[in-house]
Structures are given as C-alpha cells and as structure tokens.
Structure 1
Amino acid sequence: MSLREVRALFIFPSWSFCAVRRALKYALAQGSTGPHTPLILYSFAMAALGISPTLYDPAIVLKSAEFKILDAPPARDEKKNIAVFTNPAHDLHIVEKPIPKAGPGQCVVHIRATGICGSDCHFWKHGRIGDSMVVRDENGLGHESAGIVIEVGEGVSEFKVGDRVAVEAGVPCSKPSCEFCRTGKYNGCPDVVFFSTPPYHGTLTRYHLHPAAWLHKLPDSISFEEGALLEPTAVALAGIERSGLRLGDATFIAGAGPIGLVTLLAARAAGAEPIAISDLSQGRLDFAKKLVPGVRTVLIERGLDAQAQAVKVEEALGQKAAVVLECTGVESSIWTSIYVCSKYSGMVFIIGVGKAIQNMPFMHLSANEIDVRWQYRYANQYPKAIRLVSAGLLNLKPLVTHRYPLEQGIEAFEIANDITKGSIKVQILDG
C-alpha cells in the first residue's frame, strides 16, 4: 500500500498531513501487517493528531437493546427488523428491533444468511461459556452471517449499496496502545466487540449495523450461504496455520461436527495425507466420507478408554499422527488425541472449546515430547477463506443441511440443538 493510498483513507485538512505521515512511518516500522493494516494505521494517524480513535463504539451495539419480544413472528412480507434472542432463563424468542441507521464508517447490512453455531446453542441452553461469557440479560444470537449492504455511512468508500458481504463478527479496538491490534493479533484484543458474545447482540437479525472495516466483499461466485460459512472456515484455517501442518502429514481430526468437517476440508486442501476423522455419530462419519472420499473414519465407542480408542484410530490411519486437530474440546477426546500423536515430533492442536479446567496425561506428553497448542477465535483469515472458496479449493456447499426463514428461527435452533435430527449446519435465511 502506497502512502497516497493510505492518505486517501483519511479525511483531514492538508495542514495535518505531516503529523499523519509521521504516525504512518512509525506504524509501518512496527511491522503492522495483514488485511486490516489500514485500520491500524488509521488509529496511529488519529493518535498523532491528538484525537482518540473511535473506530467502533461498543455503546452503539448496546443501544440496540431497544426491542420488544413478539408473541408470534410477523408475516414474512412485513420486513420488520426481527432477531432471535435468549436470556438467563434460557428462553428463546423472536424480538423486534428498530432498523439501524449507518453512522460514519458504518454500513447497514440486510443479513441474508446466518449459521447456527454450537456456541449459540450453548448460550441458550447453558447461559455461559466459561466465566467471562455469561448471559446476564436479553442477548441476541448469531455470528456467522453474510448479506447485502443497504446503506453506507459517511466516509465509507470501499462499499456501496448492493454489495454482497461477509460479516466478520469480532471487531477489536484497533487502538495504537493495544499490543494485539498493533501486531495483527487482534483476536487477543481485550476490548473486542464480538457480536453474540454477551453483552453484545448477535448478527442473527434482518438489518445489522457493522463497521465497514470489518466487512468483506464477496465475489459473485460465493453465495450468501457460503459467505456465512466463512466464519467457521476462518476458525479452521487459523487452526491449520497455527498447527504447522505440512504436505504429507498424517493427520487425525477428532470430531465430525461443523468445525471438524470444515477442518477436514482445509486439511485436505493443505495436503494432509492420510487423514482419519472420528465421531460418536456414524451418520456424521458417513457425511465426512461423502465430503472427502479418501478420509478414514473411526466410530468412537462409549465406555472405551482413551488408549483403546487411540489404538482404533492408529489402525485406521496406519500410523501415529504427525498432527492432531482436536475439534470437540471434550477431555476424553483430548486424551485420545494425545495417545494417537507421534512421539518426539507430534503436535496436538486443540480447536474445540471445552470445560474451563481439564486433566491431561502429563507424563505421557512430557516423556514423548508431544507439543500441545490452542487457538482463540481467529485473525486475518477471512481474505484467505474467500480466495479458497472462490477458487473451488474448499467446497462448503454440502455443509448446509437445514434451512429456515428468519421467522422460524426458534424452530431452526431446536433442530440445531437436537443431535437426533442429523443436522450438520442449520442456516437461517432471509430473502
């Protein structure tokens, strides 16, 4: 990016540009990289002018708390701004919210597709994930979304009305004082606004207000359904990248849920071979086999200890795994993953989210020099995901097994939460 291009991002009087330029030079010297470098540079420039960066004000999100719970969904042709909410009593209901207006740097997006994530069901049924993400009031759900821009705010030049976009749900502070934003690791920002994570309402709504900097333009080759699937794809790509998976690595994927299946697609695209995947559900394993015909499947037996499960996986794989991608977060599955892993060179990479405190076979890890790593959400993955899907290297289309209109959002959640229904990814669509 040239200095001229960066300058075009700002609306400052000419006399102030010297200060901006000094800030840009400093920011570039810090090694800020990634698709959101312009956003980070913007913060530095604002700081040089003595202006507090207000790229996204969390209060704007909280102001959307003006809503009313509906006794019944409105008719589809009314086009009211409805959303799906839960609360500490574990209720699930349709609410009506005001239609938002785009402020400076923002876009209003008509959300056309939103996937139901396991975390959405967890907030509904359990009211929390860990100790920091707790449903304390009415809370909007959904963070896997794509749609079409219907209004752009002042200063937005990269989008226009009618653009098709994917919504990146995590919006960090982007302040120059934030180490994580400054270095491109914005998933670690302590002040991130992550839509659907309490207290912030989700993107599962008809009309959603979002900062333009965190929207991603979709090519015509990517549908809204695929655009919504970019969010779990970003999770999988972050895991593949951080695990260090290489061409020809024998790979075991624990869990054939949506994240596990997207991880399977990504591992295959990255050149993993052979690949084995496990699950408690034979139906999901059959689905995995159709998705990637060469994958080897292992049905997990309830009551079988972790070492015995590991033997089954190793037999299917034909060897121990150089890389294990654990996508469940369940303690017993993590133990199996550790026993499957190669000694003195193996990597167990945990993508799944589980209980706050878990046990591990410490001495087995230590004596065999098995590495264990984790990830938290993702950063800088959306552009990669868009390129891979657009090029046909990742075929996400089969993952959507159930579709519901927004007005039937409650029914959609009931299906997504019922393992007997055989869903992979349930999406809520709005025409």
Structure 2
Amino acid sequence: MTDVSIPNYDKNNMPKTTKSAVLEKVFDIDMKDTKLKEMGPTDVLIKVVAVGICGSDVHYYDQGHIGNFVVKKPLILGHESSGVIVAVGDKVTKFKRGDRVAMEPGVPCGHCEACRTGHYNLCPNMQFMATPPVNGDLTQFIVYPQDFVYPIPENVSYEEATLNEPLSVGVHATQKLGVDVGSSVLISGMGPIGLLAILAAKAHGADQIIVSDAEQSRLDVAKKLGATNAVNIKNADVLDTVKTLTNGVGVDYAIEASGTVPGEQTSLHALKRGGKVAYIGVPTTDQTPLDVPFMTDHETTIMGIFRYCNNYQTGLKILAKNTKLVDNLLTNFYPLDQTKAALEKSRTDKSNSIKVIIYPNEQLRK
C-alpha cells in the first residue's frame, strides 16, 4: 500500500485548526482553516487520506437540502473516508500512531431505545458526518472516537477503503433481506451503492444477480463485479427480462438503489410470490405509489434501509477479498482545493465517473 507521511503529533502537541472544504451556500465551496475538536481520552487524531464523494454531498452542494436536512450554516462535506492515526488519547486501547483506518461516519448516542436494542442506525440523536448541522471529513485532520474507527486490511488501499461506507449499506440490505445461498436478486440502480450491493449479495450466497440502469458504462462495471445479467432500461424492459430469466417466477429478493419512482415499482413487481424487497434509494417525490393488491396477493415483505448497523467490519472483509474488482469504481481523483471541480464531475458526468476521490492531504493518484 502507498505510504503517507505521519506528522509528529501527540496529546501535548495537537494542531488547533485544520484546512477544510466548506460549503458556504449552494454551489459555493470555500477553503478555510476550521477549528479542530479537542481530543478526549478515548479519541484519536486522524490524518484524512482519502474521501469519496457521495450523492448526498452533491445534493447538499446543488440543492442545499435533502428532505428535512437543510444547510443553514457553512458545512464541511464528506463522510466516506479513510486515513492514518497520528495521535491517540490517554485511554485509547485499540489503536496506535501509524494505524491505517476507515471511519464509520455516524456516532449514535448509545443511550436511546434504538441504541440499546441494537439498532443504532435509527438513533434519533445520531451525529452523522456531513448531515446538517454536523460537519464532515473533507478536511486534513479530524478527531474521532476510537469505537467508530476500524483497521483497514493490509491489502486494501486508502481509496478502496472509502468504498466501505456505501458497501455497508448494501451489506445491511442483504442481511435484512436474508439473502442466502442459491438465491436470485434484482438490484435496481448502478450508482456506487447499487454496484457494491452486487458484492454484498455475492458474499451472502446469491447465485443469480440481475441489475438494471440507464448508463451502459455502469452496467459494464456491474458485470465485472459479478452481475449475471445486466439490463439497460433504455433498450429492454426489466420486468420482461426478469420473468424470462426466472421462468416466469420472479426473483427471491430485490434491492432498489436508483431512487426513482419507476425503479421503486419495478423492484416490487419483479418479486416472486413471498419475495422481499429492500428500498435504499429515496425518490425526490414526497410519496411513491405502490401496488397494494400485488403486495397482499404475493404476500411480499417490504423494508426500508437506513444506512447500516453493526456491519462496518464485514464490509472491510468483503473489500479485502475483492480489491481488484472494486478498483473499477475508482474513476476520478482531486486534491482538496479542487473540491468544487470534484463535485461538478460527480454531478454532471455520470457516464465517465462512478466514485470521485478527494485527497485532503497529499494526492496519491492522478
């Protein structure tokens, strides 16, 4: 793996500020020195090496809000990240200086009912990076609790480790659905989450993985990752294809990651009787019509997927087994001071970009 420089910091010699990419308002990114949080006894100081741009970052950049989450004051974007530990608190037991790590971007309260019953992703007090008003990690350094930091496997690069955040969503979906050995799965929408859901479905034993999207370049990547059939919705009907491939029965499971109304409906109707669908993508409309007679007649199980819970380490293990495959998703690389250009690339060029990476410190790839 590529080596990066490790500053000589400790608890008595900590930086006070960090250079950050700050969203001032819609389409306005500014480079600023922002205040660094004081390190507590169980915190670590991380030099952020790589950050992946997520669709949510783009939405905050060009829309200023996602649902009820509104950017009301300057916000540091970014939540798909990896880095190296450069200092540790007095009571840190899991890590040492020089450890390569990935950061799970949501820190729950640990006390509410959701947290106490093992569903911390539903914590109403969640502090999730780059979700207003919580700052993200498009910054050179970040102080973070050791309990939400995970070692990067030796054969996984910093850039590949950033993919663990979207991969963990797919892992959560496959686990909630109960995807099992020999099963069939439809995955709708080949953005990074949909693409990485292919690896999650494979890891849980799926035998037939049908994917759909309107971008042929992304469907080509999906085939490389292990999709058995790829449907370009511009040229073919997804439901007809699913019926043909499953002898008219339908798939066991569906994962909807496109966030489109047609995708939401198609994923439901592609199910066999007794099938299960997980909705990851969020449509821009307030409500999505669903076929209730179909659901009752087929006794379908429908579930929403919100981020992930207790599977960040599982995602890293899957990445470690698929490094050559996931490298196909890493398409564009920018330094921190070109964050606006990186966001524009992700926003406007879906044919030629899948995962855009920003380097808050030294640039490792061009």
TM-score, length-scaled by structure 2: 0.88
Give the corresponding residue for 2:12.
none
Which amino acid in structure 2 is aligned with residue 312 of structure 1? Answer: T
Cα offsets for 1:35-79 (capped at 9, x unmatched): xxxxxxxxxxxxxxxxxxxxxxxxxxxxxxx9xxxxxxxxxxxxx
Q: Which runs of 5+ in 2 are unaligned?
A: 1-15
Alignment of 1:18-417 (within 5 A): 81-131=18-68, 133-175=69-111, 178-292=112-226, 295-301=228-234, 309-316=238-245, 318-319=247-248, 320-343=250-273, 345-355=274-284, 356-392=286-322, 395-417=325-347
Give me the whole-angstrom Cα distance separating, in 1, the residues matched to 2:105 and 2:310: 13
Higher share in strand: 2
**Bigger CA drift: 400-409 or 94-103?**
94-103
Give aligned-pair identity as a percent.
Answer: 35
Cα RMSD after superposing both structures? 2.1
The alignment of Structure 1 onto Structure 2 pairs a total of residues equal to 344
Give me the whole-angstrom Cα distance separating, in 2, the residues matched to 1:88 and 1:334: 31
Give the corresponding residue for 2:4.
none
Give me the whole-angstrom Cα distance separating, in 2, the residues matched to 1:378 and 1:262: 14
Which amino acid in structure 2 is aligned with residue 295 of structure 1? Answer: T
Q: CA 1:309 to 1:274, structure 2 compared with 1: closer, same or farther past 3 Å?
A: closer
Which amino acid in structure 2 is aligned with residue 151 of structure 1? Answer: A
**Bigger CA drift: 347-356 or 221-230?**
347-356
Give me the whole-angstrom Cα distance separating, in 2, the residues matched to 1:322 and 1:419: 33
How much does 1:202 deviate? 0.4
Which amino acid in structure 2 is aligned with residue 185 of structure 1? Answer: H
Q: CA 1:234 to 1:361, structure 2 compared with 1: closer, same or farther past 3 Å?
A: same
Q: Which runs of 5+ in 1 are unaligned?
A: 1-65, 67-79
Work out whether residues 94 and 410 of structure 1, in 8 Å CA contact, stay in contact via their aligned partners in 2.
no
Give me the whole-angstrom Cα distance separating, in 2, the residues matched to 1:362 and 1:147: 46
Give me the whole-angstrom Cα distance separating, in 2, the residues matched to 1:295 and 1:405: 36
Higher share in helix: 1
Work out whether residues 329 and 352 of structure 1, in 8 Å CA contact, stay in contact via their aligned partners in 2.
yes
Which amino acid in structure 1 is aligned with residue 282 of structure 2? Answer: V
Work out whether residues 257 and 424 of structure 1, in 8 Å CA contact, stay in contact via their aligned partners in 2.
yes
Work out whether residues 83 and 158 of structure 2, in 8 Å CA contact, stay in contact via their aligned partners in 1.
yes
How much does 1:99 deviate? 4.6
Give me the whole-angstrom Cα distance separating, in 1, the residues matched to 2:187 and 2:322: 22
Give me the whole-angstrom Cα distance separating, in 2, the residues matched to 1:384 and 1:373: 21
How much does 1:218 deviate? 1.8
Give me the whole-angstrom Cα distance separating, in 1, the residues matched to 2:266 and 2:148: 38
Q: CA 1:375 to 1:111, structure 2 compared with 1: closer, same or farther past 3 Å?
A: same
2:358 corresponds to 1:428: yes
Give me the whole-angstrom Cα distance separating, in 1, the residues matched to 2:356 and 2:93: 34
Give me the whole-angstrom Cα distance separating, in 1, the residues matched to 2:194 and 2:247: 21
How much does 1:100 deviate? 4.6
Q: CA 1:392 to 1:289, structure 2 compared with 1: closer, same or farther past 3 Å?
A: closer
Work out whether residues 144 and 169 of structure 1, in 8 Å CA contact, stay in contact via their aligned partners in 2.
yes
Give the corresponding residue for 2:9.
none
Give me the whole-angstrom Cα distance separating, in 2, the residues matched to 1:351 and 1:244: 15
Work out whether residues 274 and 317 of structure 1, in 8 Å CA contact, stay in contact via their aligned partners in 2.
no
Work out whether residues 170 and 192 of structure 1, in 8 Å CA contact, stay in contact via their aligned partners in 2.
yes
Q: Secondary structure at the match of 1:159?
A: coil
Q: Secondary structure at the match of 1:346?
A: strand
Give me the whole-angstrom Cα distance separating, in 2, the residues matched to 1:258 and 1:189: 25
Of structures 1 and 2, the larger Rg is shown by 1
Which amino acid in structure 2 is aligned with residue 91 of structure 1? Answer: D
Q: CA 1:209 to 1:330, structure 2 compared with 1: closer, same or farther past 3 Å?
A: same
Work out whether residues 87 and 124 of structure 1, in 8 Å CA contact, stay in contact via their aligned partners in 2.
no
Q: CA 1:403 to 1:246, structure 2 compared with 1: closer, same or farther past 3 Å?
A: same
Give me the whole-angstrom Cα distance separating, in 2, the residues matched to 1:311 and 1:186: 39
How much does 1:315 deviate? 2.9
Q: Secondary structure at the match of 1:315?
A: helix
Give me the whole-angstrom Cα distance separating, in 2, the residues matched to 1:394 and 1:339: 34
Give me the whole-angstrom Cα distance separating, in 2, the residues matched to 1:325 and 1:249: 13
Give me the whole-angstrom Cα distance separating, in 1, the residues matched to 2:252 and 2:142: 43
Work out whether residues 226 and 396 of structure 1, in 8 Å CA contact, stay in contact via their aligned partners in 2.
yes
Cα offsets for 1:334-389 (capped at 9, x unmatched): 1111111112x111111212234221112121222122111111111111112222
Which amino acid in structure 1 is aligned with residue 290 of structure 2? Answer: M
Which amino acid in structure 1 is aligned with residue 259 of structure 2? Answer: G
Give me the whole-angstrom Cα distance separating, in 1, the residues matched to 2:268 and 2:357: 34
Work out whether residues 104 and 155 of structure 1, in 8 Å CA contact, stay in contact via their aligned partners in 2.
yes
Give me the whole-angstrom Cα distance separating, in 2, the residues matched to 1:123 and 1:392: 31
Q: Secondary structure at the match of 2:173?
A: helix
